[in-house]
Amino acid sequence: MAQTCIIVTGGAGFIGANFVQQWISTEPAAVINLDKLTYAGNPASLRAVEANPNYAFTHADIGDFAAVSRLLAQRKPVAVVNFAAESHVDRSIHGPGEFVQTNLVGTFQLLEAVRGYWSALPADVGRRFRFLHVSTDEVYGSLQPGDAPFTEQTPYAPNSPYSASKAGSDHLVRAYHHTYGLPTITTNCSNNYGPYQFPEKLIPLIILNALAGKPLPIYGDGLNVRDWLYVGDHCTAVRLALSKGRPGETYNIGGNNERANIDVVRTICRILDELRPADSRKPYESLITFVADRPGHDRRYAIDATKSSDELGWKPAETFESGIRKTVRWYLDNSDWVQGVVSGEYRKWMAKNYDTREAT
Ligand code: NAD
Ligand code: DAU
C-alpha cells in the first residue's frame, strides 16, 4: 500500500519551507513538495529535510494541469496544501501579469486537477480529503486606526494587484466547495516573519541592509501598521486547520502583534546594536531613510483570530519580542543561506525597486 502523504505547493518558499520542516518533525505522513522554483523558491531552505524518506520534491507549475494530475494519481495524497503564489506587493505593482497567472489562473488549474482526482476517490476517502488554501489578510483591504480587526465576515476589498489576485483565488476555492462539494479550507493570515524569508520583505531587508551599512528604507511616514505573526505559529495553525477545520470554512490567523513599521525597524536596530554592534559604533537607527511611499499603500491590517482559537484550539506561542529576537539571531547565524540568496536576481530587484525611490 502507498504511504500516506500530503502534497504541499510552494514548499521551497518562505512559509512553505518552514511548514515542510515542521510537518516532517511532527507528523507521521510523508510530504511531497511541488514547486516551480521561481526567484522565491530556494532548495537551500530545505537542506535539513532533503534526505528524509518522508520528503520528496517535484519541479512543476501549479498551473500545469497535466503535471499536477499525474502527481495526484501517482501519490494519492490525503490533502493538498496550496502555498504557491507570487507573494510580494511591490513586485505586483511593477508587473501584475505574473500574479494573475499564478495566483488566479494557476490556482484554477490546480483546483481542476484536484477536483478530477478527488471526484474519483471512494466516498469515505473523499470525505476525509482536504484542499487547504493559504491566503492573506490583505484581501480584506485597509483599516484605519481604531477600526475593529478583520473577522471572517469582513467583506473583501483588495487594493493591490497582489491582493486582488489572492482574493480571486479565494473566491474560486469557495466556489469549488459550494458547487462541487470539494472539502476546502481557506486560511487568511497576517504578515509572517522568521527564518528563510526572502530579503525583499521588510524584516529580512532591514536586517541585511543594516549589517551591510546600507540605508534602511521606510515607505511614507512609517506609520503603516501590520500584525506580525511568527512563521512557526502560522505553520502550527495550518496543521490544526487541516486536522480540525470544517470543510467550506475560512479561518483568520494573526499574531496579535500590531506594530507600526517604524517601530519594527527601530526594534531590529536595537537588537542588532546589542548582538552585532556596527564597526563605526553608530546605532543602526542612524541608517533609517524615509523614501517615497508604495502606491496604494494599505494603512493598517489587524486580525481577529477568535474563530481559530475557539474551533482549532490555536494560539500563537511567540510574542513579537521573542519572535523578532529569534529571527535576527537566525539571520546572524545563517550567513551561508543569506549569501546564496543575495545574488544576481536579488540585486536586479533592489535596483528596480529602490534606485528610483527618492529619499523624502
Ligand atoms: P514566497 O514568495 O516566499 O514563496 C512562494 C513559493 O511558491 C516559492 O517557492 C515559489 O517558487 C513557488 N511558486 C511560485 N509560483 C509557482 C507556481 N506557479 N507553481 C508552483 N510553485 C510556485 O511566499 P510566502 O511568503 O512563503 O507565502 C506563501 C503563501 O502564503 C502565499 O500564498 C502567500 O500569498 C501567503 N501569505 C504570505 C504571507 C507572508 O507574510 N509571507 C502572509 C499571508 C499570506
Ligand atoms: O498581510 C499579509 C501580507 O504580508 C502577505 O499577504 C504578503 O505576501 C506579504 O508580502 C506581506 O505584505 P506586506 O506588503 O505587508 O509586506 P512587506 O514586507 O512588503 O511590507 C511590510 C510593511 O513595510 C508595508 O507597510 C510596507 C513597508 N515597507 C516594505 C519594504 C519592502 C517599507 O517601509 N520599506 C520597504 O523597503
Q: Is 64 left (phi over 0), alpha (psi -120 to 50) or beta?
A: beta
Categorise residue 296: left if φ over 0, alpha if ψ from -120 to 50, beta otherwise.
left
Q: Which residues contact 147 (CB under 8 A, 6 or more apart)?
A: 300, 302
Local confidence band at 359 (pLDDT 50, 70, 90 cut-offs): confident
For ligand 1, residues with CB inside 6 Å are: 9-10, 12-16, 35-38, 40-41, 61-63, 83-85, 87, 102, 106, 134, 136, 166, 189, 191-192, 198
Q: Which residues lie with the beta carbon below 6 Å from any ligand 2 atom?
A: 87-89, 136-138, 190-191, 201-202, 205, 217-219, 224, 226, 261, 294, 301
Cell matching residue 97: 501579469
| Residue pLDDT, tens place only, 248-258 | 999 999 999 99
Residue 2 has pLDDT above 80, yes or no: no
Contact 208, 199 (CB under 8 A): yes
Catalytic residue among 162, 193, 230, 301: 162
Residue 276: count of CB within 10 angstroms of its CB? 16
pLDDT band at 27 (very low <50, low <70, confident <90, very high): very high
**Rounded mean pLDDT, 195-213:** 97
Residue 356: pLDDT band (50, 70, 90) is: confident
pLDDT at 1: 55
**Closest-CA residue to 117 (of 171, 31, 183, 54):** 183
Give the model's confidence band at 348: pLDDT under 50 very low, under 70 low, under 90 confident, else very high.
confident
**DSSP conformation class of 51:** T
Distance CA 319, CA 91 (A): 29
pTM of the entire predicted model = 0.98
Task: Name the residue of 83, 203, 226, 230 whose CB sits within 8 Å of the most ligand 1 atoms, as the mutation to test its pocket.
Answer: 83
- Whether pLDDT at 172 is above 90: yes
Mean pLDDT score across all residues of the chain: 97
Which whole number is the average pLDDT over 261-271? Answer: 98
What's the gap in Å between 351 CA and the centre of ligand 2? 18
The predicted structure's pLDDT at residue 41: 96
The single-letter DSSP state of residue 4 is P
Take residue 18 and report the three cell numbers written for it.
518552514
**What is the model's pLDDT at position 109?**
99
